[in-house]
Amino acid sequence: MELVFATHNQNKFEEVLLLIPEHIKLLSLDMIECFDKIEETGTTLEENAQLKADFVTKNYGFNCFSDDTGLLVDALNGAPGVHTARYAGEKKDADANMDKLLAALNDNDNRNAHFKTAIALNINSEKHQFNGVVEGTIASKKSGAKGFGYDPIFIPEGYDKTFAELPLFIKNKISHRGRAIQKLMAFLIEHQLF
pTM: 0.93
What is the total residue count of the chain? 194
Distance CA 26, CA 17 (A): 7
pLDDT-derived band of residue 48, with 50, 70 and 90 as boundaries?
Answer: very high
- Buried residues in 147-182 as b, exposed as e (16+ CB within 10 A): bebbbbbbbbeebeebbbbbeeeebbebbbbbbbbe
Residue 156's domain is classified under what CATH number? Answer: 3.90.950.10
Q: What is the pLDDT of residues 146-162, one digit of tens each?
A: 989 999 999 999 999 99
Total domains in the fold of the chain = 1
**Percent of the chain having pLDDT more than 70?**
99
Instruction: Give the active site residues.
Output: 68
Distance CA 131, CA 127 (A): 14
Q: Which domain holds residue 105?
A: 2-190
